[in-house]
Amino acid sequence: MKKSPKIKVFVAMSGGVDSSVAAALLKKQGYEVTGVFMKNWSEPVETYSKKKSLCWIDERRDAIRVAAKLGIPLLTFDFEKEYRKQVVDYMFRGYKAGRTPNPDIQCNKLIKFPLFLKRVLKMSAPACRQAGIFIATGHYIKLKTQNLKLKTFSKLYQAKDKEKDQSYFLWTLTQDQLKHCLFPIGDYLKSEVRQMAKKMGLQNALKKGTSGICFIGEVNLREFLKKKIKEKTGKIINTEGEVIGRHPGIFFFTIGQRHGLGIAGEKPYYVADKDVKNNVLIVAEGKNNPALYKKETELKEVNFINAEMAAVKRQSVLARVRYRQPLSQATLYKKDLPAPCLRMQEAGKKYRLVFRKPQKFVAPGQSAVFYSKNGEMLGGGIIV
């Protein structure tokens, strides 16, 4: 009798402890596991780094060591060209337009999941594709499936570890992608993941997690942006319209920013708004200044994990407009507009998010992500 092929899983391995334990858990569960290291950025960051960051060569070396320990092969996928064009250039365009784009979300939307999955499916034999092909990552999020009306739907939920939950960054995923996805560590605390890595003898068990821009690391944002955006001095005004300082370019600041303003008062100043047309930065004094809060915001490029929810005109949700911000009660309204009124990708998908209590630091370009009361991540959109 011909033996059925094992279900294959390709695990995105960054060299960190989370993706390493994800690969180990999947192997233990009986999958045929292959590690994949994504080379997305190789440019040195010394000139704009806040501290010395590991380069991709070091990260790949860590991934190789873990793969050897687990007894699995490790492939390297080079997506640097696509990453530079679709994530880094997108980031520069956003800041130049006065917005605050989120490169991590853009990377998940256009690189980590679609390109990774497409490459894996293309290189897999028909027999393997028939048995099942999956990709997996070390994201802290839960994936559950539900059968409804003879269809199988994937649902995403907040991770067990609420401090490490990464659902905020994954609202752009689709059902076609999720049916091929696995997230093995969503049911564990970070401390439990480190303990497992230590018991397995993985050399990166205590390795510090990465921060900053996805695949680039922690950088001095202003110095990084200056690679493509020239300084343009302008006025800093307070909420009364008084000029109280000068700035080197509003592109280098984001809503809610406190440091780097070069102005002092009885209370600290925060960026409340940006007048892009006139190159004016508006600041508010005091962390609870009413100018820092918004009652509502419009959204574009809205995506629902369950596409059927897009037909609902009005729905109550829990929302967050910044990573790790507490969830807030809100109502999401949909406006149906004719295609000529909007860019093609936004036609019929204009939304308004109204908060029950005004929310702080609502920044254009960032994401508003929606949840249900039971922790399901429903989707999200870009703040206009």
Q: What is the CATH number of the domain that holds 273?
A: 2.30.30.280
Active site residue 107: yes
- For residue 196, being part of any structural domain is answered with yes
129 lies in the same domain as 59 = yes
Asked if residue 277 is part of any domain, the answer here is: yes
pLDDT at residue 2, rounded to an integer = 43
Indicate if the pLDDT at residue 45 is higher than 70. Answer: no
Same-domain status, 140 and 246: no
Quote helix, strand, coil % in the chain, to nearest 5: 30, 30, 40
Query: How confident is the model over 148-162, as a mean pLDDT?
Result: 90
Average pLDDT, the chain: 91
- Do 105 and 151 reside in the same domain of the chain? yes
Report residue 159 as tokens. 């991770």
* pLDDT value for 220: 86
Q: How far apart are CA 370 and CA 317, in angstroms?
A: 6
For residue 348, what pLDDT is reported? 44
Give the range among 85-89, 181-185, 319-323, 348-352 with minimum mean pLDDT: 348-352
The single residue listed with the structure tokens 């590690």 is 35
Catalytic: which of 55, 128, 181, 214?
214
In the β-sheet with 234-237, what is the strand arrangement from edge to edge? 243-247, 234-237, 280-285, 269-275
| 139 has a pLDDT exceeding 60 | yes
Global model pTM greater than 0.85: yes
Q: Note whether residue 221 is domain-resident.
A: no
- Are residues 275 and 175 located together in one domain of the fold? no
Q: Which of 107, 128, 181, 341 is catalytic?
A: 107
Question: What residues contact residue 277 under an 8 Å CB cut-off, 6+ apart?
Answer: none
Judge whether 214 counts as a catalytic residue.
yes
- State pLDDT tens for residues 270-304: 999 999 999 999 999 999 999 999 999 999 999 99
pLDDT in the model for residue 146: 86
Query: Region 12-26: what's the mean pLDDT?
Result: 97
For residues 128 and 19, state if they share a domain.
yes
pLDDT at 131: 54
Are 84 and 121 contained in the same domain? Answer: yes
Tell me: do 356 and 331 sit in the same domain: yes
- Do 272 and 330 sit in the same domain of this protein? no
